[in-house]
Amino acid sequence: MLSVHCAECKGPLFEKEGRVFCPVCGERKERGKEAPEAGLEETLRRKLGELRARLEREEDHEQTMKILKEIDALVEVLRKLEGKG
């Protein structure tokens, strides 16, 4: 299973014998031909996880507010990439 999702149905993409496919809708892609947004989305989600971990540890109110603003901005970009914003 790959870390990117199908542009058609949002199901997880799999790779087998060098071919990338979606088992949910049958969409096929050539390796390396995923949408450019896929890598960006993965990076944003990873960054969101890092910020979540920092937020859990943070005790300073001002730093907490900064982290929350960063999280809000990332969520907004992710929504736009998913077509929900």
Instruction: Give the tens place of pLDDT for each residue, 16-71.
Output: 877 888 888 876 765 554 555 667 888 898 999 999 999 999 999 999 999 999 99
Q: How many residues does the chain have?
A: 85
- Provide the pLDDT for residue 33: 47
Per the model's pLDDT, the better-predicted residue between 55 and 8 turns out to be 55
Per the model's pLDDT, the better-predicted residue between 84 and 46 turns out to be 46
Q: Does residue 28 share a domain with residue 59?
A: no
**Beta strand spans in the chain (E):** 14-16, 19-21, 28-30
Please give the residue range of the domain that contains residue 63.
Answer: 35-85
Number of domains present in the structure of the chain:
2
- Provide the pLDDT for residue 85: 59
Q: Does residue 83 share a domain with residue 44?
A: yes
Q: Does residue 42 share a domain with residue 27?
A: no
Specify which residues 29 forms β-bridges with. 20
